[in-house]
Amino acid sequence: MKLATSRPRNPFFRYWFDSWIRACGVGWTPRQVLVGYGLSILLPIGVLVAAKVAGLDWTWQQMIVAALIAWDMGGGVAGYNHQAMKRRRLGEVSHIPIWHHNLLHVHPLLLIFFNQPNWALALTLIWFISLFLYVEFLEVDPKTGKRRFGESAQKWVVVLEVVIALTLSAVSFWVPSITPEVRLYGIFLYAGLAVATFIILHTPLNFQRTAAVILMVCMIVASQFFALPAGFEWLLPIYLLKLLVGFTAKEIPNQD
């Protein structure tokens, strides 16, 4: 499998283009990648402007956290709903890459700490660094069609991610200023992602995308019983559209 043709010549832009291809599959043109990155920039801007208009009075730490989460969500929702990702998913035999990818997205657990700006910023920066390490070491190398880590190592990554998620959830109970409603929302959304991922992975191929949409709708309705940090009402649908409908669900390609 060869890297997509017409890569940018400039080393800086070529790095970002190649990173996008590693994360989102082979078959993107430079213009399409530009559109994807464009959304990843526009969404944070929109979130920060909306917070300002709503008078949320976020600290600079909270603005950075919101911007980084929105940056990842904006690019991912575009990248994972492209046919390039669907072609990659059809080639996946093991479920392990899906688990270590989805469990990396601890965004709801980070939001539990959003009203503790220093905690939120530190945890988000650690997660953001791990995201780049993930792309470099755990995504498919387009030149070889393989990942650098074998399946055994990938399983250990899954174990580490579960430990991190459980630790974040447990620590949140020791921070008095975190409200039970926000904690419950974060745990509900992250646990819901894990349960929905399991269901989709064990659903017949020709029904996976439909199952993902049904699960997404159910979680959106269920979320109305929980509270979340103001200014993040957009997160749940984009989070699920990216990870369930876009990434997890396999899809039979159109027959021309």
Is residue 181 one of the residues assigned to a domain? yes
3: in domain: no
Alpha-carbon gap, residue 164 to 103, rounded angstroms: 10
- Give residue 2's pLDDT: 44
Instruction: Tell me which residue of 21, 140, 24, 88 sits closest to 250, measured CA to CA.
Output: 88
As a whole number of Å, the end-to-end CA separation of the chain is 22
Q: Let me know if residue 98 belongs to a domain.
A: yes
Does residue 5 belong to any structural domain of this protein?
A: no
Q: To 10 degrees, the CA torsion angle through 46, 52, 53, 54?
A: 110
pTM, to two decimals: 0.90
Residue 19 within a domain: yes
| Contact criterion met (CB below 8 Å) for 47 and 231 | yes
Give pLDDT < 50 ranges for the chain: 1-4, 256
Task: Give the chain's domain count.
Answer: 1
The whole-number pLDDT of residue 245 equals 96
Q: What is the pLDDT of residue 122?
A: 96
Q: What is the pLDDT of residue 137?
A: 87
CB of 39 closer than 8 Å to CB of 78: yes
Comparing C-alpha atoms, which of 174, 193, 173 is closest to residue 183? 173
Residue 111 within any structural domain of the chain = yes
Is residue 253 one of the residues assigned to a domain?
no
The residues, ordered by sequence, that sit 6+ positions from 204 with a Cβ below 8 Å of its Cβ are none
Domain residues for 207?
11-248
With respect to residue 1, please indicate whether it lies within any of the assigned structural domains.
Answer: no
